[in-house]
């Protein structure tokens, strides 16, 4: 595979998209709090990632599917932490 400008931009975009929620996951883990995050927004983002992942799988667009699978996994972690740390405070 040759890396032309189009592919390079796509790869960089996929990496940035995949890592976009990582700082938030790390912050939640360190502070043990996700109170400031909106659950409806996180759920919509997770549904969005799931939909794009499914589309990527159906179209055999592996980069799209992989990128959104990684995003979905981080969003599911955020949802898990939000529920877990809220329950710990009660």
* Domain count across the chain: 1
Domain span at residue 57 reads 5-89
Could you give the CA distance from residue 18 to residue 20 in angstroms, rounded to a whole number?
6
Q: What is the CATH number of the domain that holds 85?
A: 1.20.1280.290
Model confidence at 1: pLDDT above 60: no
pTM, entire model: 0.84
HSE value, Cβ hemisphere, 13 Å, CA-based, for 33:
5
CB atoms < 10 A from the CB of 39, how many?
13
10-37: pLDDT as tens digits: 888 888 988 999 999 999 999 999 999 9
Angle between helices 39-58 and 62-89 (to 10 degrees): 160
């Amino acid at each position: 595979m040759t890396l032309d400008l189009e592919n390079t931009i796509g790869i960089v975009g996929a990496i940035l998209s995949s890592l976009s929620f990582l700082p938030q996951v790390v912050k939640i883990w360190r502070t043990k709090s996700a109170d400031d995050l909106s659950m409806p927004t996180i759920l919509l983002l997770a549904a969005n990632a799931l939909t794009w992942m499914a589309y990527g799988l159906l179209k055999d667009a592996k980069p799209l599917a992989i990128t959104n699978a990684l995003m979905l996994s981080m969003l599911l972690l955020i949802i898990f932490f939000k529920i877990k740390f809220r329950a710990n405070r009660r």
